[in-house]
Amino acid sequence: MNRTTTEGSGRDDSHDWARRDRTGLVRAFLNTTSELITDPGSFFQKVNPSSSFQGSLLYGVIVFVVSMLFSAFWKTAGLLVGIGATGEAFSQLMGIGAVLVMVILSPILAIVLIFLGAGFFHLVLLLFGWSRHPFGATVKVVSFAGVSGLANAIPVCGGLIGFVWGLILLVMGIRELHEASTGQAVIVALAPTLLVLFCACLFVTMIAMGSVV
Amino acid sequence: MSSAASTLSGLRRRFHRDPLLGFSLAAWLGLPAAVLLFRFVNPLGLYVCPFKASLGVPCLSCGTTRMLVAAAGGDLLEAFTYQPLGFTIPLLLLMYLPLVALMPGRLPDRPRTPHVRAGGLVLAAAAAVNWTYLILAGV
């Protein structure tokens, strides 16, 4: 049973995924994915930041598993034709036992990554005092932004496209669900990248100063 | 029975507000999954840290893979010596979920901005101490 109640947010969940009990899971999934691709801003405006996040978590898990299958397909295809990550180490990693375990574990991995990602972004929002809605709203943003993983269906450059698309979806989602400005949403979405850049700057500074040999 | 139901109901409500509970659930799901995965895959030697390779000193997260493999093998003390902070944080997160369940209403219902800022400073200090240890121990 989907909860589409409004708890002080001023809007109901009026997107297709919230109506999946009536429209059917496959149709709701396709409609939601289509809307997230064509008009993500409008989609996030239909999401209630205060209702239960279980439904959106289910969507996030499904898109993660599908994108992992795409990714595994291209990696295996690359291995067969001798491009991409090859060699003994990769063959060892992609042994049949490992593949089976990874397929079984992928929904768990999806939940883990969604909670870790949402937790990180929400802590950044809290750090700057920009959080207008509870943690559940951030879980929804990260779950729906996971649709960008479907870019893995594109060989070679799918990962890069997915990364950029994911950032755009995160910005739109945070802006709409936490009622943040676009600038604030960009800072939050780029926080992990900025952290890596900070470490890289530290790295370059250490080399330049010759503080370690 | 009603007590268990009310605890579950309280946890569900809290999940919606508390990102630390999300981290805790991730630890409860992710750590057993990692242990199971490392029974089938040996990731040691698959990846070389570029920081350590170029500078000769470990980075902040060096030792994490070895820590997970040692923990998967049941050697918790060895796991701790590879990455003390990386070992301690998931342990604290594992404890957070039962703590919240056992002490309803005793902890703040969600972290607020001052908590996050103070926690960030503590974490940064712990990371600095941990990094010093990794460099001195030659992990």
Q: For residues A213 and A196, give the distance between their C-alpha atoms in angstroms, rounded to a whole number.
A: 22
pLDDT the model gives residue A63: 95
Would the CB atoms of A101 and B41 count as touching at under 8 Å?
yes
Residues of B with CB under 8 A from a CB of A: 15-20, 22-23, 25-26, 29-30, 33, 36-37, 40-43, 45-46, 51, 54-57, 59-60, 110-113, 115-117, 120
pLDDT the model gives residue A2: 43
Hey, what long-range contacts does A28-36 have (CB within 8 A, 24 or more apart)?
A29/A59, A29/A62, A32/A59, A32/A144, A33/A63, A33/A147, A33/A150, A36/A144, A36/A147, A36/A169
Q: Is the pLDDT of residue A43 over 80?
A: yes
Q: Is the pLDDT of residue B138 over 60?
A: yes
Q: Judge whether A47 and A172 are in contact, CB under 8 Å.
A: no
Helix (H) or strand (E) holding A191: helix A182-209
Interface test with B, best of A115, A131, A177, A207 (most B CBs within 10 A): A115
> Per-residue pLDDT tens for A171-201?
999 999 999 999 999 999 999 888 888 877 8
Q: Judge whether B34 and B72 are in contact, CB under 8 Å.
A: yes
Hey, what long-range contacts does B6-9 have (CB within 8 A, 24 or more apart)?
B7/B101, B7/B104
Q: Is the pLDDT of residue B127 over 80?
A: yes
Q: Is the pLDDT of residue B98 over 60?
A: yes
Question: Terminus-to-terminus CA distance in chain B, angstroms?
Answer: 49
pLDDT the model gives residue B56: 81
> Per-residue pLDDT tens for B32-62?
888 777 777 777 766 778 888 887 888 888 9
pLDDT the model gives residue B48: 79
Rounded to 5 degrees, what angle do the CA atoms A118, A120, A9 make?
Answer: 45
Q: Is the pLDDT of residue A24 over 70?
A: yes
Q: For residues B87 and B76, give the distance between their C-alpha atoms in angstroms, rounded to a whole number.
A: 9
Q: For residues A136 and A138, give the distance between their C-alpha atoms in angstroms, rounded to a whole number.
A: 5
Q: For residues A142 and A166, give the distance between their C-alpha atoms in angstroms, rounded to a whole number.
A: 9
Identify which of B15, B41, B57 has the shortest CB distance to residue A98. Answer: B41
Dihedral (Cα; A182, A151, A44, A32), 10-degree rounding: 170
- Amino acid at residue number B8: L
Q: Is the pLDDT of residue A95 over 60?
A: no
Mean pLDDT of A19-31: 92
Q: For residues B25 and A184, give the distance between their C-alpha atoms in angstroms, rounded to a whole number.
A: 28
pTM value? 0.84
Among the listed residues A72, A17, A67, A68, the one whose alpha carbon sits nearest the alpha carbon of residue A46: A17
Rounded to 5 degrees, what angle do the CA atoms B107, B93, B84 make?
Answer: 130
What is the percent of chain A where pLDDT is above 70?
Answer: 82
Mean pLDDT of B71-93: 92
Would the CB atoms of B33 and A52 count as touching at under 8 Å?
no
Dihedral (Cα; B117, B118, B122, B127), 10-degree rounding: 0
Q: For residues A138 and B110, give the distance between their C-alpha atoms in angstroms, rounded to a whole number.
A: 14
Taking CA–CA distances from A88, the nearest residue in chain B reads B46
Q: Is the pLDDT of residue A9 over 60?
A: no
- Strand locations in chain A (E): none
Residues in B touching A191 (Cβ below 8 Å): none
DSSP secondary structure code for residue B126 in this structure = H
Rounded to 5 degrees, what angle do the CA atoms B19, B20, B24 make?
Answer: 120
pLDDT the model gives residue B88: 94
Name the minimum distance, in Å, from the CA of A14 to any CA of chain B: 20
Selected residue with higher pLDDT from A165 and A197: A165
Q: Which of A31-35, A111-115, A194-198 has the lowest mean pLDDT?
A: A194-198
Name the minimum distance, in Å, from the CA of B90 to any CA of chain A: 12
Q: Which of A90-99, A103-112, A168-177, B67-76 has the lowest mean pLDDT?
A: A90-99
**Is the minimum CB–CB distance between A103 and chain B shorter than 8 Å?**
no
pLDDT the model gives residue B29: 92
> Per-residue pLDDT tens for B18-40?
899 999 999 999 988 887 777 77
Q: What average pLDDT is seen over chain B?
A: 86
pLDDT the model gives residue A97: 61
Among the listed residues B107, B131, B97, B79, the one whose alpha carbon sits nearest the alpha carbon of residue B26: B97
Residues in B touching A119 (Cβ below 8 Å): 19-20, 22-23, 26
